[in-house]
Structure 1
Amino acid sequence: MSAPLRVLVVDDERLFAELMRVALGSAQDMQVVDVVHDVAGAVAATARLRPDVVLSDYHLPDGTGADVARSVRRAAPEASVLVLTGDPSSTVLADVARSGAVGHLTKSRGLDEVVAAVRVAATGEILFSPSELQRLLVAEPKDVVLDEPLTARELEVLRLLANGSSTSAASTLLGISTATLRAHVQAILRKLGAHSRLEAVAEAARLGLITLDMRARDRSPARGSALAEG
């Protein structure tokens, strides 16, 4: 039996944080290693406990969930950060996407959906709904030339990720192994200066390298988020 996922909960609403502790702790494959209530606590707990996933509220007393993601990627780059919000603005979504977090989830989701999202987050897959990604990708692109351009295959991989394909689905569609696809993803992250697949998609959209085909995303056999809306 594999070791349970180690989850750190970050939320300044004590009742909600305790609810997350109970819900996640009830899953047989998860262990809540701590509950903290601000960015500073999240950074300290991450360095001490090395969680697999950090589930963080966006609005915190001393910063944001995006700040948590930026700090965690420095302290424990192997950890995935999933950010929770109420009703996010485009500014919040862009901040989360470019922070290194793997995704975003609204607090209106059911507890079973949050548990499922934590499992997905642990794999590094993108957790953004189609409508949220669309709001990111309609931003005006910048005329920037990369120091090391993406190859044609890397652009194919990036477009599939943007349209919601999981690692296994994208590798099947391209006729390559999952190991080869992950190697392409690592090259994409390096060239774009990104720390997560979501951040890579957001940066590629900002540079005008990709657009989101909503129809393709709806047809995708395995969306980056099993919880995607619409």
Structure 2
Amino acid sequence: MPIRLIVVDDHPVVRDGLREIFATSADFEVVGEAADGPEALVVALRTRPDVVLLDLRMPQMGGVEVIRRLRRQAPEIRVLVLTTFDDDADVLPAIEQGATGYLLKDTPRADLRRAVQAAARGEAVLSPTVAGVLTRKARAPEQRTLSPRELEVLALIARGATNREVAGKLFVTEATVKTHLLHIFAKLGVNDRAAAVAAAYETGLLRASPGLS
């Protein structure tokens, strides 16, 4: 089955170009498009695509708010940001609200198609520039504070739970768990689950108790 996606951008020329990129491959099906945030929500909730290819700065409602609402209303839909902006003020809110990936509009066509395929699988996709932003932010001391939900995820991971088990306990999708882990890794400056648990104990974010193995 082809990957179903919608294209969201306030510039018609950009939408046309993106639609053409994916129309040339049988692996994809563009099932809708939108020119602003409110329209993006309507189209996404009506068509239920696998991936929303989303611009950030749009009229009426920005991309970050679209991500936040989709995470709440349709958590199974993956959001892949495609924008020209790579500064902290754009990158961090989008990732924190649950974007599966973040790419810049100069991404080559073949890389963009591969990124959509990866996002559809729930894999995090970041351009090198964006990954650098997250790495720099993770080194700031204030970023070592995890949200309550991130602490819940990490506590379950510390007990040996798999992503599927964490998803079941917290009533979320596995893709959402993976997104939380991405945020945790970035904030703690680590690359894997074991290192995240170790860093959380070292910094006091998690405290050893008889109930934790």
* TM-score normalized by the length of structure 2: 0.73
Equivalent residues of 1:189, 1:196 under 8 A apart: no
Aligned mate of 1:154, from 133, 154, 157? 157
Instruction: Tell me what 1:211 maps to.
Output: 189
Looking at structure 1, the residues matched to 136 and 88 of structure 2 have their Cα atoms a distance apart, in angstroms, of 7
Q: How does 1:11-160 map to 2 (within 5 A)?
A: 11-128=9-126, 129=128, 130-139=131-140, 140-141=142-143, 148=152, 150-151=154-155, 154=157
Q: Does 1:201 align with 2:182?
A: yes
Contact 1:84 1:104 in 2 (8 A): yes
| CA distance in structure 2 between the aligned counterparts of 1:92 and 1:21, rounded to whole angstroms | 24
Separation in 1 of the partners of 2:169 and 2:119?
19
CA contact (8 A) 2:21 2:109 kept: yes
Shift of 1:114: 1.0
Aligned partners of 2:32 and 2:147: how far apart in 1? 43
SS of the residue corresponding to residue 63 of structure 1 reads coil
Aligned partner of 1:141: which letter?
A: Q
CA apart distance, 1:211: 1.3
**Deviates most, 21-30 or 132-141:** 132-141
More helix by share: 2
**Aligned equivalent of 1:226:** none
Corresponding residue for residue 204 of structure 2:
none
* Residue deviations 1:90-136 (CA, integer Å, cap 9, x gap): 12111111111101001111111111110000011111244233033
Q: Is the 8 A contact 1:43 1:75 kept in 2?
A: no
Counterpart amino acid of residue 93 in structure 1: V
Percentage identity across paired residues of the two chains:
30
8 A Cα contact 2:138 2:144, kept in partner: no
- How far has the Cα of 1:196 moved from its partner? 5.4
TM-score, scaled to structure 1: 0.68
Letter matched to residue 40 of structure 1: P
CA deviation after TM superposition for structure 1 residue 212, in Å: 3.4
Distance in 2 between residues matched to 1:17 and 1:185, nearest whole Å: 37
Alpha-carbon contact 1:27-1:115 (below 8 Å) kept = no
Q: Show structure 2 runs of 5+ residues with no match.
A: 192-213
In structure 2, distance between residues paired with 1:5 and 1:85: 21
- RMSD between superposed Cα atoms in Å: 3.1
Any idea what the Cα deviations from partners look like across 1:170-204, whole Å, max 9, x if unmatched?
xxxxxxxxxx743256379779xx94533443256
- Aligned equivalents of 1:16, 1:149: Cα separation in 2: 38
Aligned to 1:177: none
Alpha-carbon distance, 1:16 to partner = 0.8
Aligned AA (2:107): R
**Whole-angstrom distance in 2 between the partners of 1:143 and 1:41:** 35
Q: Structure 1: which 5+ residue stretches go unaligned? A: 158-179, 214-230
SS at match of 2:81: strand
